[in-house]
Amino acid sequence: MRLMHLLLASLLGTAVPLAHGQGDSAPPPVRRHAKVSMHVQIPNPVGSKYLKLWVPYPVSDDSQTVENVQISGNYQRQGVYREREFGNTALFLRWLQAEGDATLEFSFEVKREERLVRDFSGAHDAPPSILTQPFLDLDPAVRLALSELTASLPVEGLTALERARVVYDYIVDNFERDPKIVGCGTGDVPEFLNARKGKCADFSSTFIALARSVGVPAREVYGLRLSKEAEDDISDDYHCWAEFFVSGVGWVPADPSDVVKFARVNALSRDHPRVVAKRDYYFGGVDEHRVRLGTGHEIQLAPLQLLDPLAYFMCPYLEVGYESNCEGADLKKMNLRGLTFTASCLPIVERRSLIGVGEIAPQFITETLSGDTYSLTPAPRRDYTVLSFFATW
């Protein structure tokens, strides 16, 4: 695994007012248009029987429109699959005893806007439902690690929205960002509580766990940052944030990590007016410089991976099978993190069509364009989507 390039092309679009329930005085959300191109090259290990690669596949929702998807490479099998539990979509590829390096070219355009939830007039507390209960579940070890802290938080008699803000402010005020940590961190809550410093996965996981401990449903969100300047390297620009659920409003974004990062990068105290403005912005808002890739924790991919569930799925995941003396194949996992990414800005013809607020995000089917290059086009939504078959397994 020597080379993976992400080529990012962006064009800031004209802001267009959309209905977010913010009233006439609310400024329109900021939009941008970008192209992300990924090149993957995997040296074929000697003696390997197969390579299996899962790549996070972004889909359209009320804040982003994904289109003009292009896929090509020397794989023997490929498809777009959606796993059942969290609905994460993956581009799955398989190489069977490939000669030479395995290669993949994957690109898409995305029209992204900032997501702002500012109207909480319809918010009300409601008992857990079959839909929200899974987002209140906590690992017993994590609940135990949080027990003393949970008891100390001043949340008695507060609404779910107010409890979420108490948790958010506690995270912002009491933890530091550690730029020396590799990637996004581990998301290990007890470890983060002890170290008091971490990266975005640590911040978001702890916010989620603490929110759940005070009765607020919450979930992880994983994505990729879009560079703001031409020629930016986005090799390590994966990012995690969180969402919490408020009855009568829906899922509300929160990104305490970016507040703490802003304060650190600018050497400002947490009560500095610029940091306070960021604190208020990222409670109920996320910027347009990110692509949402998925959500969930301890993820079982589709098709099912043979090794352990993934703590999170925002980076490509690879399994390599080898011949063995017993039935089946021995497995080795190769981590794609740390490969080279490059990014630059290219002109894109601006298109005005957007998925409307509240509309169902489309899934995709694959149609052949020419040779081994494919373009993904919308298909009817299904609860479980298994798409683009080109051969019998």
The CATH code of the domain that includes 233 is 3.10.620.30
How much is the pLDDT for 346?
A: 39
pLDDT value of residue 332: 57
Name the domain count of the chain. 2
pLDDT at 131: 86
Do residue 318 and residue 243 come from a single domain?
A: no
Judge if 166 and 105 occupy the same domain.
Answer: no
pLDDT (mean) for 38-63: 85
Q: Please indicate, yes or no, whether residues 53 and 101 belong to a single structural domain of this protein.
A: yes
pLDDT class of 379 with cuts at 50, 70, 90 = very low
Residue 270 pLDDT level (bands cut at 50, 70, 90): very high
pLDDT-above-70 percentage for the chain = 72
The CA dihedral of 300, 245, 252, 166, to the nearest 10 degrees, is -110
My answer on whether 126 and 105 are in the same domain is: no
184-226 tens-digit pLDDT: 999 999 999 999 999 999 999 999 999 999 999 999 999 998 8
Do 352 and 313 share a structural domain? yes
More confident residue, 244 or 348: 244
Same domain, 281 and 331: no
For position 356, what pLDDT does the model report?
30
| Mean pLDDT of the region 23-29 | 62
Q: What is the 3-state secondary structure (H, E, C) of the chain?
A: CCEEEEEEEEEECCCCCCCCCCCCCCCCCCEEEEEEEEEEEECCCCCEEEEEEEEECCCCCCCEEEEEEEEEECCCEEEEEECCCCCCEEEEEEEECCCCCEEEEEEEEEEEECEECCCCCCCCCCCCCCCCHHHCCCCHHHHHHHHHHHHHCCCCCCCHHHHHHHHHHHHHHHCEECCCCCCCCCCCHHHHHHHCEECHHHHHHHHHHHHHHCCCCEEEEEEEECCCCCCCCCCCCEEEEEEEEECCCEEEEECHHHHHHHHHHCCCCCCCHHHHHHHHHCECEECCCEEEEEECCCECCCCCCCCCCECCCCCCEEEEEEECCCCCEEEEEEECCCCECCCCCCCCCCCCCCCCCCCCCCEEEEEEEECCEEEEEEECCCCCCEECCCCCC
What pLDDT is stored for residue 98 in this prediction?
A: 62
Mean pLDDT, rounded, for 254-269: 98
179, pLDDT greater than 60: yes
Contact 109, 7 (CB under 8 A): no
| pLDDT interval class at 243 (50, 70, 90) | very high
Give the rounded percent of residues in the chain with a pLDDT score beyond 90.
Answer: 54
Same domain, 32 and 89: yes
- The domain in which residue 68 lies consists of 3-114+297-387
C-beta of residue 336 within 8 angstroms of C-beta of residue 51? no
| 122, part of any domain | yes
Verify that 182 and 43 share a domain, yes or no: no
